[in-house]
Amino acid sequence: MTISSSLNAGVAGLQANATRLASISDNIANSSTYGYKRVQTDFHSMVISSNGGTYSAGGVRATTQRLIDQRGPLVATNNATDLAVRGRGFLPVAQASDVSVGNGDTSMLLTTTGSFRTDSDGYLRSTSGLVLLGWPAQADGTIPTFPRDTADGLEPVQINVNQFSGEPTTNMTLGVNLPATETIAGASGDVQELSVEYYNNLGISESININFTPSVPGTGSSNEWTMTLTDSVNPGTVIGEYLMTFTDNQTAGGTLASVTTLSGGAYDPATGNFIVNVAGGPIEIDVGMIGESDGITQLSDSFAPVSISKDGSPVGNMTSVEVDANGYVHAYFDTGITRTVYQIPLVDLPNPNGMVALDHQTYQPSVDSGSFFLWDASDGPTGDVVSFALEESATDVAGELTSMIQTQRAYSSNAKVIQTVDEMLQETTNIKR
């Protein structure tokens, strides 16, 4: 019984070391695979109870575990949608075959890195057939509230590279100097004209035409101007008219003393703004607060549009897409505007090593991994998303080769045990002779 148990222990040792060699070979073979997590093999002794002073060898058993929480170093690339997670967390992805079915029932898989590029349908897809998942943004770029303990709100990230986008003008600031000499008795009273471009809701360029008419008194100075605004869409219709009086004292000369609303939106002295309605919607115009010199002023003898600014942009073509550290997918247009189109959450689990390992460095949550939660990148326990980067393999080739030498020696030793048992059994057989 003791000799035969030795034989069984030797066979178990061969099987265990063969398992360890298989994991080592797998690790070395994937030493250049982006995002690969190494497999570790551990040995556990099998003890059989002994009776009557004899001992039976129980042998050894090998167990393997993929160290999913072990991260490899990051390497820089030149593709904006090469993504890697720096720290804790996983990127949500789905198989392209699930997405192509189009029934909206895609199974979420997890990975720590991927080289994603737009395919023929605009999906951000890797060469291994993984499609990036994210939460879609609303038209204004905000992300709605989605459930965090389920993947139901996630959608395949689809980028329309032929997309057009424009932003209507909603705010305008006028920094204009009016000539003080035009409000003095005997002045010519010439109307000062100004045209400011804006973009309507369809991205079409229009303009607000502004006339500044001075009040010329019989004697002295009036320091008054009437500002009349019209829309180029309806040139004959006044959308706002305001009587502006300027200060001529020594401390605040040339600044606004008062603004009287004759028509249009009321002037707010607390903000220096009023609202006019053009064909494309309301526009808030900032002309400056009372006593301040950062808006419309009356100084010297020259008419000077010093500083005129506005928001909005014409229709432009999408030029590129990038993902920031917080997982927001930004689309850039040739007009200079940027629009948020998706948010990529990071998925975290209590026991990442308990997930089921699948092909292409993807993993599936299981009972052993615990319930997952979708975090904003850089929030909670998760790290951030690094673009222009990929995660290299977690394999240490030098360490694997050292383990291979140890495994080879252990395998040879177990083979020697089997050979010795065979010789002992042969001697036992020879007793009969």
Determine the residue type at 393.
Answer: S
pLDDT in tens, 263-319: 999 999 999 999 999 988 899 999 999 999 999 999 999 999 999 999 888 777 788
Give the separation between CA 63 and CA 45, rounded to whole angstroms.
11
Comparing 14-18, 49-53, 177-181, which segment has the lowest mean pLDDT? 49-53
Q: Which long-range contacts does 347-352 make (Cβ < 8 Å, 24+ apart)?
A: 347/89, 347/90, 347/91, 347/92, 347/108, 347/110, 347/372, 347/373, 347/374, 347/375, 348/88, 348/89, 348/90, 348/372, 348/373, 348/375, 348/380, 348/381, 348/382, 349/90, 349/373, 352/68, 352/69, 352/90
Beta-bridged to residue 234, according to DSSP, are 231
For residues 327 and 345, the answer to whether their CB atoms sit within 8 Å is yes
Tokens of 177: 């100097």
Beta-bridged to residue 258, according to DSSP, are 245
Q: What is the pTM of this model?
A: 0.73
> What domains are defined for the chain?
2-67+394-430 (no CATH), 76-164+317-391 (no CATH), 169-311 (2.60.98.20)
Tokens of 10: 């030797």
Binning pLDDT at 50, 70 and 90, where does residue 73 land?
very high
For residues 94 and 63, the answer to whether their CB atoms sit within 8 Å is no
Tokens of 65: 């575990």
Quick one: CA dihedral 9, 11, 17, 20, positive or negative? negative
Q: What is the pLDDT of residue 317?
A: 79
